[in-house]
Structure 1
């Protein structure tokens, strides 16, 4: 092997530098969630961690978060002469004053010029947008800040629903835990799907979510409507028995209620009929299987209780305005 080839292979094995930019009053989980992912992502080519992580601020020192924990950070100058693989602007309440901090915005712009990939977590998109890097691009932030981002930066194509968006080498993510989803997707792109799943498993993540998933969790929505938890056990049972005949009578029996009373109470509490709730839970499971498995649409339709492809297709078009095949094409993790 020539010395030039040896040097090339050594460079390939070098960990990728991930730089997190912080500032006062960040959301702690916006930082430590993605940081945890990149700090433990194995590179299958070396068997070692595939990333080197650095947390920087304009001048360094301790950075206050929205908790009692402060974060030590290096001065941005510490990495200003290095090639950055991924730059991540963290979010938090401090993003709004951060938008007006010319030193912070200038620092991010300079680091971004040396980065192969530039990202934001949550309201970090507001600070990133000031640099102009989001102009003409699709972007997302926390649902509570989407209107602010759209009003302040009309050249940014703000979308309020996805948990994260990749537009070329610019990635933006929604609120807080969505930063973990974005980081896992980046690991999958850099190091392979197996590495991403290994990290997700170590973090006890229920699943690796694609960017096309909504910020608004249907399961959480059901929990919010069912504040007293009256039907929580029933919903869990439905999700575990999607292949069964889930008639109103079967659900009422499970809830220890008469069919008539069950249908009336359930509709009043949940805002939808039991039949529509079952259909929604079946679609949620089908979406997961379309995203992360290679099972055929027919197999998924049977597993989720639709029994045939056509019935599942009609449900997808009615509730999601997209067919199962198109959904898989857009959101399947390769």
Structure 2
């Protein structure tokens, strides 16, 4: 059984513990206790969270834990020296150390980020880099696994990080089963952007949301305005007007953004050729995809693939 220890500062954000549910469900899914979960603070005892409620904790002494996960605050604040000292000791004894959201600042204060690729919530990424210049902060990542160090973006990204750990420990089958039980629509890979095209479009009505979900699942199709209008049960003219009103984009521009987001993820994380990715994401040819990448990212697909492989 692998022991997971959540390291909590006073006033920790409760959503940071969402990752614990993934490990809990891994136990029930596996049919045996593959993980043990504990909550730790500097001295132990009741600890107040950001809501004002308390949780009982154990002292973070010289404990042999497989994995440490530092949870953060709503916004970064100095960590008591005593907790930092115990965190350093516990990290040396652990197989891996991780953080959720602003928990990366705890690891930085403890000197655990130096020379590592790390991430945190995009709102605090610049501050993290400025405070800990020896770290290599990648602001636009869901989570990063750099050797024994794992870091995640916002609080909900802690679930993605936990699922990644479960996959690394026990395989993709268990991780996928846990994701289904958590009703995670799509388990995000670590390299995926923190910014979601679907989220940014923020459709207000079910019919436009349905169209966007349909388009995201069928990027290999033509996805013309008449096709999308049929999904929304509207005339093409009514659909174009409603879509633009709700998303602030024309259907054609929105579809291109969805194709770009999917293609970039495949460029960075898959072994498919550029030609195969262009076909899979609905670009008619590689030249059209290259022009779209230049408009969207200022670089061609091959440059992004080289950068991803180097990192």
Q: Please tell me the TM-score bracket, short chain as reference.
A: 0.7 to 0.9
| Residue from 277, 280, 285 that aligns with 2:257 | 280
* Equivalent residues of 1:162, 1:174 under 8 A apart: yes
Q: Which runs of 5+ in 2 are unaligned?
A: none
User: Which residues of 2 match residues 241-256 of structure 1 at below 5 A?
Assistant: 241-248=218-225, 250-251=227-228, 256=234
* Equivalent residues of 2:119, 2:143 under 8 A apart: yes
**In the TM superposition, what whole-angstrom CA distance separates every residue of 1:172-195 from its partner, at most 9, and x where no partner exists?**
111101111111111111111111
User: Which residues of 2 match residues 79-158 of structure 1 at below 5 A?
Assistant: 80=62, 82-93=63-74, 95-98=76-79, 101-158=80-137
Supply the distance in 1 between the matched residues of 2:28 and 2:267 (Cα, whole angstroms): 27
Which residue matches 1:211? 190
Q: Is the aligned partner of 1:323 residue 2:301?
A: yes
* Equivalent residues of 2:264, 2:301 under 8 A apart: no
Supply the distance in 2 between the matched residues of 1:18 and 1:35 (Cα, whole angstroms): 9
TM-score normalized with structure 1 length: 0.77
* Equivalent residues of 2:267, 2:304 under 8 A apart: no
How far apart are residue 103 of structure 1 and its match? 0.7
Indicate the RMSD between aligned Cα atoms, in angstroms.
3.5
Q: Is the aligned partner of 1:70 residue 2:54?
A: yes
Distance 1:314 1:186, change over 3 A: farther
* Equivalent residues of 2:142, 2:194 under 8 A apart: yes
Supply the distance in 1 between the matched residues of 2:228 and 2:243 (Cα, whole angstroms): 10
* Equivalent residues of 1:26, 1:95 under 8 A apart: no
Which residue matches 2:11? 25
Larger Rg over CA atoms: 1
Supply the distance in 1 between the matched residues of 2:268 and 2:174 (Cα, whole angstroms): 17
Q: Which runs of 5+ in 1 are unaligned?
A: 1-14
